[in-house]
């Protein structure tokens, strides 16, 4: 009996081998294709980006698809007030340029604001400020100092009733803008700035004048009489000259462009007290004697001048017989009266201005009241004492 052909296990395995080899070849090819596609995708996602950070340029590479992702991959942190162009949510491509301007604290018009703008005027406009004091605005807290206006900004300057326009050539501070307009500020003048919707700037100069004025008024002095028992009754003498006092009022004022804005009295008081005038008034009783014309000098003995010539002799001794004598020593005329004594005898003006007759008459009155001792030296030399 002949057996029919049969297939052995080895034979079956031999038949399956070509198919398996084909599967391995197909799988390997697919893997190579996928790897190649991955490389292509990676190359497509890889980008070179230019970063401009506060004017400094650098180049970074990233796989990120947005501005925010690109900055994060470059290690650049963005604060709330920083200015980023394009926006953080925008996409990026190879060759994109991202600009970042750091915001900084500024003092504009007495307020602190954060801004990434390139000038104080632009920062004021961005912050919604109306009119602000340009002389008080500063970037002293800023990381980088800012000019008042940037290149090309048109500035209208109003000062002293005149108006001038200045176009900024490059970055200019307030002093440069005013100098270009021919305007100077004092240490206390103010420059008020305002930014319009078109980006133009208007600066109004306010002239400030501060002054301390002084008003004075004279205070009359008091006149006081004091009795003096050593002086004869009816006689007077000023023993202390009166001096008027002074009242002073000081007022602080401030004007802005000629209009008074402040007026405050800072002091209102007596700056010099008055000094009273004191007049001594005699209380000593007068001697009730009539003028005498002795035939001989009172000293007796016939050794003196004759009666009819006694007054002429006395005048000759006292003043050389000149009724107008005024030597400047406080004594006047024929008999060298002092002014208080002359006035006590009823005389007016200066004794040297009176006639010789009046002077002799009042000298006789004085001799009757007080004796020849009023002329001690000459009376003694004439033998009258």
The whole-angstrom separation of Cα 69 and Cα 75 is 10
Confidence bin at 358 (pLDDT 50/70/90) = very high
Q: Whole-model pTM?
A: 0.43
Most confident by average pLDDT, 121-130, 167-176, 277-286: 277-286
Same domain as 125, residue 91? no
Q: Is the pLDDT of residue 256 over 50?
A: yes
For residue 198, the 8-state DSSP code is: T
Confidence bin at 192 (pLDDT 50/70/90) = confident
pLDDT higher at 138 or 284: 284
Q: Is the pLDDT of residue 342 over 50?
A: yes
Same domain as 161, residue 96? no
Q: Is residue 15 part of a domain?
A: no
Q: Give how many domains the chain has, as a whole number.
A: 4
Looking at 144, 176, 206, the residue that finishes a domain is 206
Confidence bin at 120 (pLDDT 50/70/90) = low
Q: What is the pLDDT of residue 317?
A: 92
Contact partners, residue 147, CB within 8 Å, separation at least 6: 118, 119, 120, 171, 172, 173
Q: What is the pLDDT of residue 62?
A: 86
Same domain as 324, residue 364? yes
Q: Is residue 33 part of a domain?
A: no
Q: Is residue 159 part of a domain?
A: yes
Count, residues in the chain: 385
Instruction: State the average pLDDT over residues 337-355.
Output: 91
Same domain as 166, residue 236? no
DSSP string, 17-57: HHHHHHHHHHHHHHHHHHHHHHHHHHHHH-EEEEEEETTEE
Q: What is the pLDDT of residue 301?
A: 33
Same domain as 214, residue 194? no
Q: What is the pLDDT of residue 311?
A: 92
Rg (CA), the chain: 58
Same domain as 353, residue 274? no
* Strand 111-115 with 132-133, pairing: unpaired
**Beta bridge partner(s), residue 158:** 163, 204
Q: What is the pLDDT of residue 17?
A: 43
Choice among 29-43, 155-169, 259-273 with the minimum mean pLDDT: 29-43
- CB 36 within 8 Å of CB 61: no
Lookup: tokens for 21: 């080899």
Q: Is the pLDDT of residue 19 over 60?
A: no
Q: Is residue 192 part of a domain?
A: yes
Q: Is residue 88 part of a domain?
A: yes
pLDDT higher at 53 or 330: 330
Same domain as 228, residue 187? no
Question: In sequence order, what E strands does the chain have?
Answer: 47-53, 56-62, 83-85, 97-101, 104-108, 111-115, 132-133, 154-159, 162-167, 190-195, 201-206, 208-219, 223-232, 236-240, 245-256, 259-272, 277-284, 331-332, 337-338
Q: Is residue 41 part of a domain?
A: no
With H, G, I as helix, E, B as strand and everything else as coil, classify residue 289: coil
Q: Could you tell me the CATH number of the domain that includes residue 313?
A: 1.10.530.10
DSSP H helices, 222-327, are 310-319
pLDDT digits (tens, 9 = 90+) for 37-65: 444 444 457 888 888 776 678 888 888 88
Choice among 81-85, 156-160, 290-294 with the minimum mean pLDDT: 290-294
Q: Is the pLDDT of residue 199 over 80?
A: no
**CB-side neighbour CA atoms (13 Å) of 191:** 29
pLDDT digits (tens, 9 = 90+) for 136-151: 445 444 445 556 778 8
Same domain as 271, residue 361? no
Cα–chain-centroid distance for residue 322?
A: 68
pLDDT higher at 22 or 149: 149
Q: What is the pLDDT of residue 12?
A: 39
Same domain as 140, residue 185? yes
Q: What is the pLDDT of residue 299?
A: 36
Range of the domain at 168: 105-206
**Cα–Cα distances in Å, from 18 out to 13, 166, 343?**
10, 92, 166
**What percent of the chain is predicted at pLDDT more than 70?**
70
Burial 68-94 (b: 16+ CB within 10 A, else e): bebbeebebebeeebebeeeeeeebee
Q: Is residue 131 part of a domain?
A: yes
Q: Is the pLDDT of residue 185 over 80?
A: yes
Looking at 269, 284, 299, the residue that finishes a domain is 284
Q: Helices (H) and strands (E) in the chain — how many of each?
A: 8, 19
Q: Is the pLDDT of residue 302 over 80?
A: no
With H, G, I as helix, E, B as strand and everything else as coil, classify residue 360: helix
Q: Is the pLDDT of residue 95 over 90?
A: no
DSSP H helices, 99-250, are 120-126, 174-180
Q: Identify whether 86 is preceded by a cis peptide bond (ω within 30 of 0).
A: yes
Instruction: State the average pLDDT over residues 105-112.
Output: 60
pLDDT digits (tens, 9 = 90+) for 215-224: 999 999 999 9
**What percent of the chain is predicted at pLDDT more than 90?**
37
Q: Is residue 121 part of a domain?
A: yes
The whole-angstrom separation of Cα 274 and Cα 245 is 4
* Average pLDDT across the chain, whole number: 77
Looking at 56, 71, 101, the residue that finishes a domain is 101
Confidence bin at 276 (pLDDT 50/70/90) = very high
Q: Is the pLDDT of residue 292 over 90?
A: no
pLDDT higher at 101 or 49: 49
Q: What is the pLDDT of residue 52?
A: 76
Q: Could you tell me the CATH number of the domain that includes residue 221?
A: 2.20.230.10
Same domain as 84, residue 122? no
């Amino acid at each position: 009996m002949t057996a029919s052909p049969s297939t052995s296990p080895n034979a079956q395995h031999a038949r399956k081998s070509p198919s398996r080899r084909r599967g391995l070849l197909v799988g390997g090819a697919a893997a190579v294709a996928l790897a190649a596609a991955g490389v292509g995708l990676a190359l497509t996602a890889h980008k070179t980006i230019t970063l401009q950070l506060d004017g400094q340029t650098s180049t970074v590479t990233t796989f990120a698809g947005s501005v925010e992702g690109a900055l994060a991959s470059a290690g650049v942190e963005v604060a709330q007030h920083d200015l980023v162009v394009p926006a953080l949510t925008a996409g990026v491509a190879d060759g994109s340029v991202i600009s970042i301007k750091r915001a900084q604290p500024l003092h504009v018009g007495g307020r602190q604001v954060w801004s990434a703008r390139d000038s104080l005027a632009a920062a004021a406009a961005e912050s919604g400020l109306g009119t602000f004091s340009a002389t008080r605005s500063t970037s002293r807290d800023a990381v980088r100092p800012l000019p008042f206006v940037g290149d090309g900004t048109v500035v209208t300057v109003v000062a002293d009733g005149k108006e001038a326009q200045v176009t900024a050539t490059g970055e200019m501070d307030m002093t440069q803008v005013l100098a270009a307009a021919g305007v100077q500020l004092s240490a206390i003048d103010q420059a008020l700035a305002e930014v319009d919707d078109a980006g133009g700037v208007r600066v109004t100069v306010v002239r400030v004048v501060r002054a301390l004025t002084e008003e004075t008024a004279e205070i009359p002095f008091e006149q006081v009489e004091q009795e003096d028992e050593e002086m004869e009754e009816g006689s007077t003498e000023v023993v202390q000259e009166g001096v008027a006092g002074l009242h002073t009022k000081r007022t602080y004022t401030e004007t802005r462009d000629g209009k008074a804005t402040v007026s405050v009295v800072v002091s209102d008081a007596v700056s010099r007290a008055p000094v009273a005038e004191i007049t001594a008034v005699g209380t000593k009783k007068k001697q009730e004697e009539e003028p005498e014309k002795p035939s001989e000098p009172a000293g007796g003995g016939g050794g003196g001048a004759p009666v009819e010539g006694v007054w002429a002799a006395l005048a000759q001794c006292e003043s050389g017989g000149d009724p107008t004598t005024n030597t400047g020593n406080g004594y006047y005329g024929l008999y060298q009266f002092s002014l208080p004594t002359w006035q006590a005898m009823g005389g007016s003006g200066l004794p040297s201005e009176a006639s010789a007759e009046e002077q002799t008459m009042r000298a006789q009155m004085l001799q009757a009241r007080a004796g020849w001792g009023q002329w001690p030296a000459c009376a003694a030399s004439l033998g009258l004492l």
